[in-house]
Copies of this chain bind each other. A is one copy, B any other.
Amino acid sequence: MELNILICDDDKEIVRAISIYLENEGYQVFKAYDGIEAIELVQEHVIHLIIMDIMMPKMDGITATMKIRQDNMIPLIMLSAKSEDHDKILGLNIGADDYMAKPFNPLELMARVKSQLRRYTTFGSLEVSNHVFQTGGLTIDDEQKVISVDHAEVHLTPVQYKIVKLLTANAGRVFTIEEIYEKVWNERAVNPENTVAVHIRKIREKIEINPKEPKYLKVVWGVGYKIEKY
């Protein structure tokens, strides 16, 4: 999966240097040199993460962050500033997700970027290399995109399939609705939606004998859903 990172700094040398690291890791990089450019790019493209300087001409990083959040846009935002500019940072909650002091160590930056983006790397770190997952009578063949329950094939729609795959590949682990949303749609949930619940219902209709007493797809009250590990 392609992850898009926007790097925004008025120092072109920094932008260039960081881009190299990011591209090296396989990320798609977008570049901006002030807050206004950044906002434009965010409106035009699906950006997953923004690394933004605070001190910039035209529009600073704080203002840009607030504008982006006002528009209900949900990319992750990491702010950065020279350590002596700390006092410039006012206001308690402007909606950034991380902060780094300049000059920063590229390795640490990469570690933080990965840490932030972990929510999108759905099956990445957790997935087993195998193409077939199984738990109890539930089998999912990721190569043929086919799932079977007790040896009977079941047809799932794409979204349903992704949810089942996520839960089955990590059978036993409980995922909150937000987590499921983030990992399946690759977006952050803006407000608590019911859509995941509806999909869960549809899935149960297909894979459970008795949807009221699910054998596979279980709810953990007040927490989330999981596929039972057998």
A108 sits at the interface (CB 8 A): yes
From known contacts A89-B108, A98-B107, infer whether A222 and B143 are also in contact, taking CB-CB under 8 Å: no
Q: Is B111 a contact of A220 with CB atoms below 8 Å? A: no
Per a CB cutoff under 8 Å, which of B17, B89, B115, B144 touches A174? B144
Chain A 80-113 interface residues, beta-carbon cutoff 8 Å to B: 86-87, 89-90, 92-93, 96, 98-101, 105-108, 110-112
Return chain B residues, CB-CB under 8 Å to A92: 17, 105-106
A198 sits at the interface (CB 8 A): no
A173 sits at the interface (CB 8 A): yes
Interface residues of A (CB under 8 A from B): 17, 79, 86-87, 89-90, 92-93, 96, 98-101, 105-108, 110-112, 115, 123-125, 143-145, 157-158, 172-174, 220-223, 226, 229
